[in-house]
Amino acid sequence: SGRILVGGSTKSPGKLPSAATSGSPRSIAADQAIQSLKGYADELNRDLSKLGTRGPVAKYVLPDGTKGQLELTIMGSSVSGIAVTLDSPGNTVLCEATKEVLGECNPYSLTGSLPLVKELQDEGYDLQIMGYGLMKTYHAKNEYGLLSDFGDGFKVMTKIVQKLNDKA
């Protein structure tokens, strides 16, 4: 049977059902995603012809009637990711301060999880995550940053505090 391991090595067909790849990361919790994946696996097991093949001899149903089966194994515990709210007051002030210091603000997203930060967001806090290091060394074995970049990050933070204080 084919196996897709969430959190481990994966092997999947060239195409996944469109529903498996659509949606916003902020709109679905980890438990919901797992249930959806299990539903997709069940759906594919009911009709393996949806997977397609790599030619006439690559089949999921053998001439003797033996059928392949897709098995989904969830490894480890699930953790919900976090997505900041781009139209929040906190993000507005962060972008304004970044533009003032660096001349531009180009928000981007990385995948990952910060469980404690997500809990604060779920409690209603306007959370923003920022970094002013070198992307080329992010999580590298020899990760490093430039003091000048950290200095810019500190300048941005002081501007954020000033702006929020002015609004209070």
Least confident range from 90-104, 126-140, 149-163: namely 126-140
Residue with tokens 């790849």: 21
Element of type H or E holding 70: strand 70-74
Measure the CA–CA gap between 159 and 156, rounded to whole angstroms.
Answer: 5
Reported as a pLDDT band with limits 50, 70 and 90, residue 30 is confident
Q: Could you say which DSSP state residue 69 is in? A: -
Residue 20 near residue 36, CB atoms below 8 Å: yes
Decide if pLDDT at 63 tops 50: yes
Confidence grade of residue 22 (pLDDT, cut at 50, 70, 90) = very low
Cβ neighbourhood burial of 149 (10 Å; 0-12, 13-18, 19+):
middle
Residue 7 pLDDT exceeds 50: no
Exposure string of 52-90, with b = 16+ CB inside 10 Å and e = fewer, is eeeeeeeebeeeeeeeeebebeeeeeeebbbebeeeeee
52 Cβ contact partners less than 8 Å away, ≥ 6 residues apart: 13, 14, 15
Summarised one tens digit per residue, pLDDT across range 39-52 is: 999 998 998 878 87
Percentage, residues of the chain above pLDDT 90: 25
pLDDT of 108 reads 80
149 falls in which pLDDT band (50, 70, 90)?
A: very high
**The model's pTM:** 0.58
pLDDT band at 158 (very low <50, low <70, confident <90, very high): very high
Task: Identify the CA nearest to 129 among candidates 61, 81, 63.
Answer: 81
pLDDT of res. 28:
55
pLDDT at 9: 32
